[in-house]
């Protein structure tokens, strides 16, 4: 994401309580501890690095600078990782973020079967240009000048559901002031060949949609799509749909505070978490029997964690995972599979380095 994303603004955030059809107040909320940076995931090693960096993506895949790292378990058991705006091996961090660099791609895709994450994530491959080793753009963009059309295509969430891999992308029209941007639309793209080719579905969210950015999770035959408006100032909303009907937007049900699940009515959707919320990820942890949500909270200048018994909440108060005072310019908060352990791995971007790092936290119930 090629905007100045690291400058954080201040507003107060709180959970939404008293929503009908929910299980009531949380008992034994989830508390994170022992949070640490494990490894560099992308880019060239820096002289200041004191952590592993197994992938050397600058050398092997012409990926010198990138961000995000949206991870999901694919149908073949491999983990896919979508990254955002990507630059070549000549990339050098600027004083406040990405500097000038060539080989711009709006998004790239990596694959890993690595199950031992204590020393980092090792890529098996990236999707590359035919006959070359350079990581290729997956979901295309025209790369029009900023604010003058189809500027870039940024992945926001991904999942395997209904025997297909799915990615939610936002088509950026204009990067605005820090933490604000404008989309042309957002859409779902599907792959039926393990991420080799992707096709746009008929699912489309307008520029002013509550689901311009997303997190995707599934449980009991449903896909849950959490959404925010474009940028980092909006609240979080929720829709659900049976896994096998994800491509049919007229089957979507939106969570409304008084009415419960309402079909074909995005305008009825009420916040499940109040503003401000930036990029996010959500999973259901079977071991802890909780929904876990991570997102960038610009009011706290931190990546925070919330948990809930039900997908619509009541969501716990936010617990700080990582502060920008410790990692200046942090953003992104994408949970890495497996999702059913008391050890949480997640991917965090840092603006000045403009690359992605693997983070780790321990989770436990407050009552334990």
Q: What is the pLDDT along the chain (368 residues), one digit of tens a residue?
A: 544 343 333 333 334 433 333 444 456 899 999 999 999 999 999 999 999 999 999 999 999 999 999 999 999 999 999 999 999 999 988 765 565 678 999 999 999 999 999 999 999 999 999 999 999 999 999 999 999 999 999 999 999 999 999 999 999 999 999 999 999 999 999 999 999 999 999 999 999 999 999 999 999 999 999 999 999 999 999 999 999 999 999 999 999 999 999 999 999 999 999 999 999 999 999 999 999 999 999 999 999 999 999 999 999 999 999 999 999 999 999 999 988 899 999 999 999 899 999 999 999 998 74
Reported as a single tens digit per residue, the pLDDT across 186-229 is 999 999 999 999 999 999 999 999 999 999 999 999 999 999 99
Domains observed in the chain: 30-365 (2.115.10)
Residues in the chain: 368
In 3D space, the residue among 67, 68, 69, 71 whose CA is nearest the CA of residue 80 turns out to be: 71
Distance CA 90, CA 63 (A): 9
Neighbouring CB atoms inside 10 A of 284's CB total 18
pLDDT in tens, 228-278: 999 999 999 999 999 999 999 999 999 999 999 999 999 999 999 999 999
Segment holding 335, helix H or strand E:
strand 330-336
CA distance from start to end of the chain = 39
| pTM, rounded to two decimals | 0.92
Look at residue 10 in the predicted model and tell me its pLDDT: 33
């Amino acid at each position: 994401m090629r905007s100045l994303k690291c400058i954080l603004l201040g507003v107060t955030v709180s959970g939404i309580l008293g929503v009908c059809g929910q299980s009531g107040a949380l008992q034994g909320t989830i508390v994170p501890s022992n949070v640490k940076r494990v490894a560099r995931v992308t880019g060239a090693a820096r002289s200041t690095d004191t952590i592993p960096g197994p992938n050397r993506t600058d050398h092997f895949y012409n990926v010198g600078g990138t961000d995000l790292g949206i991870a999901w378990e694919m149908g073949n058991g491999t983990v896919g990782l979508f990254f955002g705006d990507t630059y070549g091996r000549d990339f050098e961090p600027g004083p406040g973020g990405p500097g000038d660099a060539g080989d711009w791609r709006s998004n790239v895709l990596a694959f890993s079967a690595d199950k031992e994450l204590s020393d980092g994530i090792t890529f098996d491959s990236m999707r590359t240009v035919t006959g070359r080793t350079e990581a290729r753009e997956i979901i295309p963009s025209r790369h029009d000048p900023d604010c003058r059309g189809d500027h870039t295509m940024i992945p926001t969430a991904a999942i395997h559901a209904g025997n297909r891999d799915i990615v939610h992308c936002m088509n950026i029209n204009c990067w605005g002031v820090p933490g604000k941007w404008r989309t042309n639309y957002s859409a779902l793209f599907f792959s039926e060949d393990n991420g080799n080719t992707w096709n746009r579905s008929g699912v489309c969210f307008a520029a002013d949609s509550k689901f311009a950015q997303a997190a995707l999770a599934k449980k009991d035959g449903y896909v849950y799509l959490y959404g925010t408006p474009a940028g980092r100032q909006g609240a979080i909303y929720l829709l659900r749909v049976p896994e096998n009907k994800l491509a049919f937007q007229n089957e979507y049900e939106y969570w409304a505070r008084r009415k419960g699940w309402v079909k074909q009515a995005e305008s009825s959707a009420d916040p499940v978490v109040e503003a401000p919320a930036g990029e996010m990820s959500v999973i259901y942890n079977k071991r802890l029997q909780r929904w876990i949500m991570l997102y960038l909270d610009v009011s706290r200048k931190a990546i925070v964690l919330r948990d809930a018994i039900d997908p619509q909440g009541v969501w716990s108060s936010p617990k700080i995972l990582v502060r920008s005072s410790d990692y200046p310019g942090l953003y992104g908060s994408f949970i890495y599979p497996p999702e059913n352990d008391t050890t949480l791995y997640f991917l965090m971007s840092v603006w000045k380095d403009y690359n992605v790092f693997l983070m780790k936290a321990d989770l436990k119930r407050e009552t334990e």
